[in-house]
Amino acid sequence: MSAHGDPIPMTSHRAGPLNGEAHVPGDKSISHRSLILGAMTIGETKVTGLLEGQDVLDTAKAMQAFGAQIEKTGDTWHVHGVGVGGFLEPENVIDCGNSGTGVRLIMGAMATSPITATFTGDASLNKRPMARVTDPLALFGAVAHGRSGGRLPMTIVGARDPLPVTYTTPVPSAQVKSAVLLAGLNAPGETVVIEREATRDHSERMLAGFGATITSEDSPEGRVITLQGRPEFTPQTIIVPRDPSSAAFPVCAALIVEGSDVLVPNIGLNPTRAGLFFTLQDMGADLTFENMREEGGEPVADLRAKFSPDLKGIEVPAERAASMIDEYPILSVVAAFAEGKTHMPGVKELRVKESDRIDAMARGLRGAGLQVDEGEDWWTVHGLGHGNVPGGYTAQTFLDHRIAMAFLILGMSSNKPMSVDDGQPIATSFPIFEGLMGDLGARIERT
Ligand SMILES: O=C(O)C1=C[C@@H](OP(=O)(O)O)[C@@H](O)[C@H](O)C1
Ligand SMILES: C=C(OP(=O)(O)O)C(=O)O
């Protein structure tokens, strides 16, 4: 269920130094996949470190509606799944709230079972494009009936006799890739996804972990992922690593607030996710990876971020976009405090997230005194340098958690406080944001 309550306006005041450790919640992408793959596995999958944000809780509810038993005892989530091809037909509409990942992956997972399900979401999700998922699902034999433009609410009639599919994704999207792979689980034979630009590979890693035969190889056409259908899944014990996309907020706050020194421990640095941190280093950030190690087959480090008064604007490589796609809103805030222009090309996908993120950030940054130029797939922030960002504006957040958090971080170092019209969506991905930032020394109030 999406956050349907009254908006929660918030204001962030200039903060003293931010200091201490920031223990951010579990990875959102891995949390969704843990529940969905657990629900497709007979036996008990145990998950700790699950992100208990609204997006993931909505996916848990959805998996229960498809027949899985899910409960939490202590810190552990227990998922008793129904097996590949074992989903029951839900008795009611599935509400995925604010979550593109939730709805698109679940549509894929059910599309090759002989059941029908209807999906809806909040005002943000119901505007987002679903044809990017239903087009390949049609190749398996599934039929989608949605609103015009391929929008939710939408009914998917699953394929009775699914065929395996070979599909080249037309947009760089891990959600599309994952929907096709999850559909391929219940199709006989080989399902192949080709992606021109590599996107986050959590589905591939986790499918292999559950026991699927899956390979990824680079070719002149891009990355080719091949999955054998109808695998025997074995229940897993999953420890969800902490979310680099959430870590981005305390890290970036520390870089722009004078005197700060913040440690963000145990952050997954999967190369398909870590682009922001390398970009910040390119800008001159005092950001170091301490205690580099491997955990569960993924690189992990403790991130230490210190106040960085001499940040420089840069050209962000377009080929890095997929590995930091959710981090552009907070990157643009850091860019405001850097000297010179930060140009961000190759980011058309930002226009179809929870909001049009280029538009939402450009409006709020301009209100806060910045110059922002934009085109369909690029934008440029003209940085003013530390101490020179005016602030003093109320940004609209358009039901988008990352827009809300980005502007609250901006207010921690702008000359006048920064407000957001609604901080409620923050709970979709980072429910402890206010408390965690407050413990570091930030001053966010509900207004
Ligand atoms: O697969 C995933 O878990 C996600 C993929 C990305 O979306 P796209 O696939 O639309 O790029 C990202 O923005 C989202 O937050 C999570
Ligand atoms: C784009 C995001 O999520 P989703 O697509 O799952 O709504 C995000 O969390 O920034």
Using CA atoms of 271, 272, 276, 278 in order, give the dihedral in degrees to the nearest 10: 30
CB 439 within 8 A of CB 417: no
For the record, the structure tokens of 265 come out as: 């421990």
Measured from the alpha carbon of residue 121, the closest ligand is: 2
Interval 50-76: pLDDT, tens: 999 999 999 999 999 999 999 999 999
Cα separation, 45 vs 83, whole angstroms = 12
12 CB less than 6 Å from ligand 1?
no
- Cα–Cα distance, 294 to 94 (Å, whole number): 37
- Ordered alpha helix ranges (H), 111-219: 131-140, 174-184, 202-210
- Which residue's alpha carbon is nearest to atom 12 within ligand 1? 326
Ligand 2 atom at shortest distance from the alpha carbon of 101: 6
Residues 79 and 108: their CA atoms lie apart, in Å, by 19
CATH placement of domain 10-26+241-446: 3.65.10.10
* Pairing, β 190-195 against β 222-228: antiparallel
C-alpha 188 – ligand 2 centre gap (Å): 31
CA–CA separation, 116 and 113 (whole Å) = 8
| Residue 326 designated active-site | yes
DSSP notation for 131-156: HHHHHHHHHHT-EEEEETTTEEEEEE
Shared fold status for 10-26+241-446 and 28-239: yes
Q: Domain coordinates of the chain in residue numbers?
A: 10-26+241-446, 28-239
Ligand 1 binding pocket includes 30 (Cβ within 6 Å):
no
CB of 128 within 6 A of ligand 1: the answer is: no
224 touches 183 (CB < 8 A): no
* Residue 105 clears pLDDT 90, i.e. is over it: yes
- pTM here is 0.98
Please report the pLDDT score of residue 93 as a whole number. Answer: 98
Q: What is the CA radius of gyration of the chain?
A: 21
Distances from the Cα of 328 to the Cαs of 13, 232, 438, in angstroms? 22, 39, 23
In this prediction, residue 1 has a pLDDT band, given cuts at 50, 70 and 90, of very low
Q: Which amino acid is at 116?
A: T
Task: Kindly give the distance from the C-alpha atom of residue 25 to the centroid of ligand 2, in angstroms, as a whole number.
Answer: 15
Residue 199 DSSP label: -
Q: Which of 103, 200, 201, 354 is the best mutation target for the ligand 1 pocket, counting ligand atoms within 8 Å of the beta carbon and taking the most?
A: 200
ipTM confidence score? 0.99
Kindly indicate the confidence band of residue 189, based on its pLDDT and cuts at 50, 70 and 90: very high
pLDDT band at residue 18 under the 50/70/90 scheme: very high
Kindly list the strands in the beta sheet with 378-384, ordered across the sheet, starting from the edge strand earlier in the chain. Answer: 339-345, 378-384, 371-375
- Is the pLDDT at 222 greater than 80? The verdict is yes
| 75-100 confidence digits (pLDDT tens) | 999 999 999 999 999 999 999 999 99
Which is the closest atom of ligand 2 to the Cα of 402? 10
Q: What is the pLDDT of residues 273-316, one digit of tens each?
A: 999 999 999 999 999 999 999 887 778 999 999 999 999 999 99
Per-residue pLDDT band for 396 (boundaries 50, 70, 90) equals very high
For the annotated binding site, the residues are 28-29, 33, 100, 128, 173, 175, 326, 353, 357, 402
**Does domain 28-239 sit in CATH 3.65.10.10?**
yes
Helices (H), 44-117: 54-65, 100-110
CB 85 within 8 A of CB 92: no
Name the closest-CA residue to atom 11, ligand 1. 173
Asked if 431 contacts 401 with a C-beta cutoff of 8 angstroms, the reply is: no
CB-based burial label for 240 (10 Å; 0-12, 13-18, 19+): buried
